[in-house]
Amino acid sequence: MKTEEALQKIGEQVVDIICEIYDPEIPVNIYALGLIYDIEVSDDCDVKITMTLTSPNCPVAETLPVEIEEKVKAISEVNKVKVKITFEPTWTKEMMSEEAKLELGML
């Protein structure tokens, strides 16, 4: 069992890794795009990530969750990683961070 502080640190590492993964069609990382809805780190150091895609027909629908799982599993303290895709709520441009909107010239 890890302490709450240790679990929070793992969560921060997960976010750091996700911030290095980019949508191939948009030059912004998937975290800043607002595609990550939730990250849960269990007491057993299992990570569950709930995310969406910019559209149901997204060309990376098959590969992006696998890439996220593989990169998050590289964190030494993490045991299992599960990425769940959801389309509820539907992703909109309003979910992007201010930084992402600025990067894309939307501000």
Q: What is the pLDDT at residue 90?
A: 92
How far is it, in rounded angstroms, from Cα 48 to Cα 24?
23
Quick: pLDDT tens for 30-76: 999 999 999 999 999 999 999 999 888 888 888 999 999 999 999 99
- Whether cis (ω within 30° of 0) applies to the bond prior to 89 is yes
Distance from C-alpha of 90 to C-alpha of 88, rounded to nearest angstrom: 5
Query: How confident is residue 2, by pLDDT bands cut at 50, 70 and 90?
Result: confident
Taking residues 11-35, what's their average pLDDT?
A: 93
In degrees and rounded to multiples of 5, residue 90 shows phi and psi of -65, 135
Specify the pTM.
0.92
* 4-91 belongs to CATH 3.30.70.20: no
List the domain boundaries for the chain: 4-91
Taking residue 56's Cβ as centre, other Cβ atoms within 10 Å add up to: 11
CA distance 69 to 35: 15
